Structure 1
Amino acid sequence: MAAPTKLTYVQAPETSASLDWADLITLDLSKFDQPGGKEQLAQDLSRALEEIGFFYVKNHGLSLAEVDSQFALAKSVLSLSNEEKAPYRAALEQGDYNGWKPAGTRDLIPGVKDNFEIYNIPKFIPKHANRAHPEIVKQHWEEIERFSKHIHNHIVKKLLVIFAVALGLQDQDYFVNKHRYEENSGDHLRYMKYHSRSEEENQKLGGVWLKGHSDMGSLTLLFRQPVAALQVLTKDGTWKWVRPQTDALTVNIADALHFLTNGYLKSSIHRVVAPPKDQAHIDRLGVLYMVRIEDDTDLLPIEESPVLQQLNLIQEKTLDGDGKPVKAGEWVRQRVIKNLGSAKAESADNEVNEVEIVKGVKVNYYD
C-alpha cells in the first residue's frame, strides 16, 4: 500500500452575524475520575436535560490536529467524483447506511432535492473487515481506527456511565454493557458535506435544508463545525442556533436512549438551515460519530431506575402493532429506509410531518 498522503485542513472562519444562540451546558470529562466527579457530571447532565437534550463535552482527549486531520480526510473523500464514489454506495434501500450516500436521494419539495452527502465508516470489527473503501481511506486506515476507537473508549463510555448515574442505576456500566464495541450495532464515523445552495433554492425551501428531526441511535457527537446551520428546538417551541466550540464536542441524545428512559433522556429535535450570508457560499463539511445501541436491544423503559420509577416513566412502554417491543436494530433499519422517501408529505397545519417507522410507532418531522 502507498504511504499515506499528508493532508491538511483549515477550518472556515466563524460567522460575524448576530444569531440567537442556544445556551447549552458543558460537561467537563476531566472531572470523570475525580472523587465525586461522575456524580457532579450527572447533576450537570440533568440540568441540560431539563432544557433541550443537547450539550457540549470538553477535555475529550482528542487534539485539534487530530480532529482537523479527520476533516481533511472528509474533504478528500467527499471531493472524489461521483463515479469514483459510486462503487462504495450504501445499500440504503436495505436500511444500511455504511458507505457513500449521494446528495439528491430525496425530494424536499417538488424540484428541489436534498443537498448533503455522507461517507460512513462502520466499527472496526470482523463483520466489516472486508468492506471496500476508497484508496484515500485505506491509506489512513490506522489513523481512522485510532480516532474511532478513542471516541468509543474514552468519550462514549464515560457519557454512558454518567447517564447511568443520572438515572440512579446501581450498575454504572448498565449502558456501557448495551454498547459493546465488538457486538453488532450501527456505530460509525461519518464524513458529511452540505453543498452550498443558490439564493433561489433557499427561498423555495424557506431556508430549511433538513427538517427538524431526532436521530435514530443513542448519541450523535459532532466535531467543531464553524459554518452556522444547526438549530435545536427548545422546550418553549423556538429554534435556536448551536454555536461551535473550539475545544468541545457538541452532543445530542437520540431515539434509543429516549425509548429506554421514556423521554427522561430527550431525543432532541434539531434541523439544518441555510447559513448566514457571510457563510452562504461555503460547503458545510462535518465529522461526526454516531453511537448506536446493540441491535438486539428491546427499546423498553429501564425498570431498575429509581429516577424513572419516581417520575412514573416505566409504566408506559413503546410496543409495535403486534404488541412486541421494538428492537433497536430494526428501528434504525426502518428509519434509514423511510428516509429515502419523499419529505414533502405534511400534516394539515403544514408544520409537522408524522411518519410511521415500524407498525404503530411513529416519529415527527418539523419545519
Structure 2
Amino acid sequence: MATITADQIASVSLKDADRNPDEFAKKLGRSFEDYGFAIIADHGIPDELIHRAEEKAKAFFALPEETKKKYFLTDGGGQRGYTPFGIETAKGAKAHDLKEFWHVGRDLPEGHKFRGHMPDNVWPSEVPSFKDTFSELYATFDRTGLKVLRAIARYLKIDEDYFADTVRDGNSILRALHYPPQSEPTGNHIRAGAHEDINTITLLLGAEEAGLELLTKDGRWIPVSPKPGELVINIGDMLQRLTNGRLRSTSHRVVNPQPDRASHARYSMPFFLHFRSDYLIEPLPGTVPAGEQPKWPPITADEYLKERLREIKLV
C-alpha cells in the first residue's frame, strides 16, 4: 500500500507498477507535478549490492588525500573519477559544497557515435572489486530508471516505451558521495547548496541520514525522509523542459547536520539518468497550451549538459 507524508510526497512500492500500473503512475506523476520528488520502496536493487557499494565507497574515501587525487582528472569536467572536497558549487552560489565524490559513467565501444561525449572510466586500484561492484550497480540503476520512466510515460499518456530510445546509451552518471564530519564552523558553506539536477530523473540511495530538503511551491524547505533502503526519485531539468514545466525540477539541498550528528559522515549514491546525447529536448505534444509559446527553446541533451556543467564550475 502507498503512503503519503504530511506534505503529500508520494511514497509508493515499485511492485505496484505491475499490480496496478494506472494507480501507481497517477500517484507518482502527481507527486512529481506538485513536489518534483517521490519515494519508492521495493525497487529491486539488491540490499547486498547496495551495502557492498557503500563499503567500497567508504574504503575509497578513507584513502589518503594524495592517493585519491591521483584519480582527479583536471581536464575531464568531473565526468569520471574523483572530484576533491570544495570544488563543486551550486549554480549561482559563491560558497562551494562540503563534499567529495566519485563518478562512474557508461562504457561505450570503440567507434560508437557518442564515444566523444563519454570519456573512459577510471578505477581505484587500492579498493578491491570497486570496478565490478560499481559497474553492477550502474547497470542495475539503469534498468530501475527505465521502469520509473515507463510509469511517467503512462502518466503523461504517451506510449509506455517512449523513453526507452530517448535514454539508450545516455550520458548517465553514478555518483558516490561523501560529506565529511564537521568539527568546526563552516561559515556560509553547506553540504550541498540549493540546486536543480541537470538530467532526466535522479535515483538516490542513502538519503536516510537527515539533511536532504526540497523547496515547495510556496517557498518552504521540507525534509525528504525515506526509510532505510528506499529510493528517492526526483525530476531533472531535462524532463522538466520536455514536459514544458508540467513535471517539476525542484530546488533541493543537503543542509549541515544538527550538533548531535555533526561528527557523523554522510554517504549517498545518486544515479543521474540522462537522455542520449543527440536527443532534442523540446516540449512533448499537448504540453504547450494553445496560444502560448514553449517555456524553453529546443536544445540537445549534450548541449544542455555542457551549458550546465559550466554553470556549476565543473568545466
Would the TM-score normalized by the shorter structure come out above 0.5?
A: yes
Match of 2:67 among 73, 84, 95: 84
Shift of the 328–217 alpha-carbon distance from structure 1 to 2, 3 Å rule, reads same
1:59 — aligned with what?
A: 42
Gaps of 5+ in 1: 1-19, 320-324, 342-356, 358-367
Counterpart residue type for residue 26 of structure 2: Q
Matched-pair contact (CA < 8 Å) for 1:116–1:194: yes
- 1:317 Cα deviation after fit: 4.8
Aligned pair 1:38/2:21, yes or no? yes
Match of 2:13 among 25, 28, 39: 28
Match of 2:140 among 133, 150, 160: 150
Percent of residue pairs identical:
27
Counterpart residue type for residue 135 of structure 2: E
1:267 — aligned with what?
A: 249
Shift of the 338–94 alpha-carbon distance from structure 1 to 2, 3 Å rule, reads farther
1:49 — aligned with what?
A: 32
For 1:107 and 1:264, the matched residues in 2 are separated by 27
1:327 — aligned with what?
A: 300
Alignment of 1:1-367 (within 5 A): 23-34=8-19, 37-91=20-74, 95-105=77-87, 113-126=96-109, 127=115, 131-136=121-126, 139-153=129-143, 155-169=144-158, 171-180=159-168, 183=169, 185-201=170-186, 204-205=187-188, 208-303=190-285, 306=286, 308=287, 311-312=289-290, 315-319=293-297, 325-340=298-313
Counterpart residue type for residue 160 of structure 1: L
Q: How many residues get paired?
A: 302
For 1:327 and 1:274, the matched residues in 2 are separated by 35
Report the TM-score when normalising by structure 1: 0.75
Shift of the 64–238 alpha-carbon distance from structure 1 to 2, 3 Å rule, reads same
Shift of the 101–313 alpha-carbon distance from structure 1 to 2, 3 Å rule, reads farther
For 2:131 and 2:311, the matched residues in 1 are separated by 31
Residue 148 of structure 2 aligns to a residue in which SS? helix
Shift of the 131–147 alpha-carbon distance from structure 1 to 2, 3 Å rule, reads closer
Residue 200 of structure 1 aligns to a residue in which SS? coil
Report the TM-score when normalising by structure 2: 0.86
2:112 — aligned with what?
A: none
For 1:97 and 1:212, the matched residues in 2 are separated by 21
Counterpart residue type for residue 316 of structure 1: P
Superposition RMSD in Å: 2.7
Counterpart residue type for residue 280 of structure 1: A
Counterpart residue type for residue 214 of structure 1: E
Counterpart residue type for residue 142 of structure 2: H
For 1:103 and 1:46, the matched residues in 2 are separated by 35
Matched-pair contact (CA < 8 Å) for 1:21–1:241: no
Give the greater-gyration-radius structure (CA). Answer: 1
Gaps of 5+ in 2: 110-114
